[in-house]
């Protein structure tokens, strides 16, 4: 049975086939999108993961505290040492009473800390 009388009309079976094809395509694309969305979700933050993250944060903070409050040797050859922050502030105040001498000392220490070792001569020269 034809839906329209003019222009040859549309057949109901053809219209139904088109409708089923388009609806099926939308369902297929929607299903694939849902599947991809489900497969790419990160795992939720459960109690075990939250405990792990809290422990990692506590470990990092303990390391930072130790770095700020203890003395250590960083590079003995270059004379680079880590001093506690309270001692560093006192030293800075003492050295920078004379700004020009403090600046000269700072530039000298930076040059010493960042100096490149001499290059080895090439075996082909």
Q: What is the DSSP string of 68-81?
A: HHS-EEEETTTTEE
DSSP H or E segment with residue 28: helix 12-39
Max distance between CA atoms of the chain, in angstroms, equals 104
Q: Domains of the chain: which residue ranges?
A: 11-41, 69-114
Average pLDDT of 1-15? 66
Tens of pLDDT along 43-88? 777 888 889 999 999 999 999 999 999 999 988 888 888 999 999 9
Q: According to the model, what pLDDT value does residue 119 have?
A: 86
Q: According to the model, what pLDDT value does residue 14 have?
A: 84
% of the chain surpassing 90 pLDDT? 50
Q: Are 81 and 71 in contact (CB under 8 A)?
A: yes
């Amino acid at each position: 049975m034809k839906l329209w009388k003019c222009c040859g009309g549309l057949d109901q079976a053809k219209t139904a086939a088109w409708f089923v094809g388009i609806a099926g395509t939308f369902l297929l694309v929607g299903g694939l999108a849902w599947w991809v969305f489900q497969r790419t979700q990160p795992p939720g933050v459960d109690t075990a993961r939250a405990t792990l993250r809290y422990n990692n944060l506590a470990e990092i903070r303990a390391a930072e505290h130790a770095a700020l409050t203890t003395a250590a040797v960083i590079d003995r050859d270059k004379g680079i040492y880590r001093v506690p922050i309270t001692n560093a502030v006192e030293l800075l105040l003492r050295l920078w009473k004379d700004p020009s001498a403090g600046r000269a000392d700072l530039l000298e220490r930076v040059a010493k800390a960042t100096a490149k070792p001499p290059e080895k001569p090439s075996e082909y020269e």
